[in-house]
Structure 1
Amino acid sequence: MTTNSTIADEPARRRWLTRERVVIYSGAFLATQVILLVIWAVAHWGLHVPAVPPLGVDFRVYWSASYVTLYEGALAAFDHNKLLSVEAQLLAGVAMEPPYAPWIYPPSFQLLIYPLALLPYSASYVLFISAGLACCLLACTPMVKPGALPWVSVIAFPGIWIAIMTGQNSLLTLALTMAALTLLERRPLLAGLCAGSLAIKPQLAVLFPLLFICGGHFRALGAMVVMCIFSCALSGLIFGPQLWFRFFEAASWFSSAIVERGEGGMWNGMSTVFAFARQLGANIPVAYAIHAAIALPVVATTAFLWTRNSRCNFELRAAAFGTSTLLVQPYLMYYDLAWLIFPLGYLAIDHARRGTWNNVDRAIMIIVWASPMVVLLAVFGPPVGKLGLMLLSKWGVLGMLLLFIATSRHALVRTRPSVQAVPVVR
């Protein structure tokens, strides 16, 4: 999203998306999402409508894994029959067949969700989501302070509400990532600890070591390594090292059955180049080759932007890092698109200060802002045919590619430090 705080004499025809319009559109979208979520909650917990499941389609897995871990041991969470029997109890009275939802998370995250089932499901869900949302909004504060992106646009971002609806950990991983980036220059050790805490979902931390090395942030890199080792060792100490072996077995099965073969229609919810290639009919080696052909240049460009020789500003570097982290994933679900709020936020700051973004750039940002909701329609929406389903499900990855190209274009052309900054009009 963007604002009207650009060059003062910009023609009106180029200011079709002003700050006032952004606030109005975002406010309307926010109100709609809140109303729908309240209706859902009241329908299930208040009116007990049989066709309405409880909020937290994925949190149900977290709570069930916690319950099984508490009462039958950590290894029991990987027993599909035991886990699904607990999940089925949560859906008792709901007129729907319980969806298959296995536990495929590392012991470091299993340790984090360990106490969730000490509370009833509804109370545990509210506490988990409230904590994640609070951390997310706190981490977004430095991005919003310059005044380029209104708070209402952040709060109304569909990715955040989809994370709330599903009860996913996306808000927590988003908060850790933004904290690591924000603290990197001032508090490198704390930044490294935040990055290392992504051991709860390690695939999302894959580019942090490269970022730290390219930027010469070796204290942050050391802190990240220490934090990763500590969290893995602690979970192994509490649950036993065999849990890690069981996790790797489950991850291998998941990669083969779900990621590579798309069982259960999972490709429809995956915003990745790999899933797109598989849906188009590519075999597994060719799909990985296509994915690598996109991911490697993306990583190389991001690495260059983070080198000390690059004169790229922090906002563009952060936006490139966030987008590239998502693009390199062969497995990325629609709820992980909550991460897109921070590339959009930093790009809004860059636009407000420099005024160099054109209407095409703004259109791309709108496409990306709407992408979590569009991809969600591919998963839960009405039938739209095979082609329509493919376009909806891959809206996110196409939007991310366009966003990365636009970000890189602006970053790479700024090789001179004399680009005049434009003050932000609040």
Structure 2
Amino acid sequence: MLSLANGTWAKADRLLLIGAVSSISFFVFNVLWQVDFAKTMPDGTIVLVSDFLSFWMAARQVLMGMPEVPYDINAFIGVQELYNDPGVFFAFFYPPMYLMMITPLGFFSSTTAYIVFQAFNAVALSVVMKKIARHWLAVFLVFGSPAAYMSMMNGQNGLLTAFLFGAGLLCLQSRRLVLAGVFIGLLTIKPQLGVLIPFALLAGGYWITFLSAVVTTFLFAGASWIVFGSDTWLAFLQQIPAAQLAMTDGFLPVYHLASVFGFIVGIGGSVGVASVLQFMFGLFLVVITVWTWRKQINFEAKAIVLLSASTLISPFIFVYDLTLLSLAIAFLAGGRANQKLPPWTTTLCATALLITGFSFGIAQTFLIQLGPLAGLLVLIVGLRLAVFSEGTSQVTANRTATQFQGL
């Protein structure tokens, strides 16, 4: 217990061993999972039956000249019947920008498309992780992270959205303000993850990045409108209520939602109560984010608070979206001010990662969703770093003022 409290368990050789074992294990389990849920068609082709099926089928519909089909639930069910068991359906609730982004996947077979998609995302995120943490061991936060594994196992886009978010913050940290806005604008493929970003940018005075993100968003949306036409966008907008009902009317099991909303409903709360509590907690997160980003503190603290709070702000958060917490931990590892943080922060971050691995199974069995706890633990670490770095910044400012007075 003392080792957990003082953080002495987190030695480099142990982290290397844990990361290597986790990465190899997750890779093997992922291969076995894909084989188990793959379906061999009469022509001998193999189709992966997971969330990735909706991405691949949506891309195929675009290439067939029917980009609006993924947004017509009945029509999309029809095109999936050949691959799914009765009663199984993978919806496509993403905006047309994302549909345009994944269209090239339709040129490949299901398995090849999956490998290309996940490999590109994993490599891109690994590069960003290494640059943030300033050490190659950070790649284990991708390949050895339970949340990232859940994303790859289900063929989801958790690695892609984490890459876009992380690249945006990395560019912001290095003062490449326009490029940061471009990455943030591209993150609108999953808008619920970026709810807090405008508050952070405006509070921090990053007007150029904010404007760059707005322009990128409009150009991105405009390009998809030019490519797909008005009918596809209208179909997407008409589908939004159905997407909301999927979350509240039982179409989507509550144990899939790693949010405050999912926790409240899971323990027996009504949808109305859960929605109100999620909204109230969201307001608190906005205040915390604005408070942090307004202060003259190190960037790592701001990034950790924003990333962790972004996993808590929306009711529509899944376990694989918690890959953002790996980014937060990478910022903590790469920060210069983290050396004087309490040692228990290391154990807190490790606990958060473990929770992302067990939250889905616990929720599936007991209907208790622990996913929000992972984000909350990392948020505590970020706030602690913010308070510490504020004190450090104040001391530095006082020393500078004293030096000028002595000239």
Shift of 1:415: 2.9
Distance 1:55 1:77, change over 3 A: closer
Tell whether 2:330 aligns with 1:337. no
> 2:156 aligns to what?
168
Shift of 1:418: 6.2
Tell whether 2:375 aligns with 1:400. yes
TM-score by length of 1: 0.83
CA distance in structure 1 between the partners assigned to 2:269 and 2:359 by the alignment: 21
Q: Which amino acid aligns with 2:291?
A: F
Shift of 1:192: 0.4
Tell whether 2:278 aligns with 1:291. yes
> 1:6 aligns to what?
none
> 1:346 aligns to what?
331
> 1:370 aligns to what?
354
Tell whether 2:363 aligns with 1:390. no
CA distance in structure 2 between the partners assigned to 1:315 and 1:12 by the alignment: 23
> 1:144 aligns to what?
133
Q: Which amino acid aligns with 2:349?
A: M
Q: Which amino acid aligns with 2:184?
A: A
Aligned length: 389
Tell whether 2:183 aligns with 1:194. yes
CA distance in structure 1 between the partners assigned to 2:207 and 2:394 by the alignment: 30
> 1:301 aligns to what?
288
Tell whether 2:56 aligns with 1:79. no
CA distance in structure 1 between the partners assigned to 2:4 and 2:372 by the alignment: 32
Distance 1:178 1:56, change over 3 A: farther
Look up the SS of the partner of 2:296 in the other structure: coil
116-125 or 74-83, larger mean C-alpha shift? 74-83
> 1:417 aligns to what?
392
Distance 1:54 1:412, change over 3 A: farther
> What pairs up with 1:121-132 in 2 under 5 angstroms?
121-132=110-121
CA distance in structure 2 between the partners assigned to 1:39 and 1:320 by the alignment: 36
CA distance in structure 2 between the partners assigned to 1:410 and 1:330 by the alignment: 27
Look up the SS of the partner of 2:82 in the other structure: helix
Distance 1:107 1:268, change over 3 A: same
- Pick one of 314, 319, 325 that aligns with 2:299: 314
Distance 1:281 1:217, change over 3 A: same
Distance 1:13 1:217, change over 3 A: closer
Shift of 1:205: 1.9
Q: Tell me, yes or no, if the aligned pair for 1:45 and 1:54 is still in contact at 8 Å.
A: yes
> 2:16 aligns to what?
23
Shift of 1:321: 0.6
Shift of 1:72: 4.8
> 1:183 aligns to what?
171
CA distance in structure 2 between the partners assigned to 1:224 and 1:337 by the alignment: 23
Tell whether 2:342 aligns with 1:357. yes
CA distance in structure 1 between the partners assigned to 2:390 and 2:291 by the alignment: 12
Q: Which amino acid aligns with 2:72?
A: D
Look up the SS of the partner of 2:268 in the other structure: coil
Distance 1:236 1:97, change over 3 A: same
Q: Tell me, yes or no, if the aligned pair for 1:197 and 1:231 is still in contact at 8 Å.
A: yes
Shift of 1:301: 1.2
Q: Tell me, yes or no, if the aligned pair for 2:263 and 2:370 is still in contact at 8 Å.
A: no
Deviations 1:81-131 (A, max 9, x none): 33223323335xxxx546222221111111112232222111111111111
Look up the SS of the partner of 1:281 in the other structure: coil
Q: CA RMSD in A?
A: 2.8
Q: Tell me, yes or no, if the aligned pair for 2:182 and 2:212 is still in contact at 8 Å.
A: yes
CA distance in structure 2 between the partners assigned to 1:140 and 1:14 by the alignment: 22
Q: Which amino acid aligns with 1:402?
A: L
Q: Which amino acid aligns with 2:355?
A: S
Distance 1:175 1:56, change over 3 A: farther
CA distance in structure 2 between the partners assigned to 1:195 and 1:12 by the alignment: 37
Look up the SS of the partner of 2:81 in the other structure: helix
Q: Tell me, yes or no, if the aligned pair for 2:195 and 2:313 is still in contact at 8 Å.
A: no
Gaps of 5+ in 1: 1-9, 422-426
Distance 1:13 1:230, change over 3 A: closer
Q: Tell me, yes or no, if the aligned pair for 1:22 and 1:153 is still in contact at 8 Å.
A: no
Shift of 1:407: 2.1
Look up the SS of the partner of 1:167 in the other structure: coil
Deviations 1:301-330 (A, max 9, x none): 1111111xx232111111111011111011
Q: Tell me, yes or no, if the aligned pair for 1:197 and 1:228 is still in contact at 8 Å.
A: yes
Identity between Structure 1 and Structure 2 (%): 24
Q: Tell me, yes or no, if the aligned pair for 2:304 and 2:382 is still in contact at 8 Å.
A: yes
CA distance in structure 1 between the partners assigned to 2:139 and 2:252 by the alignment: 37
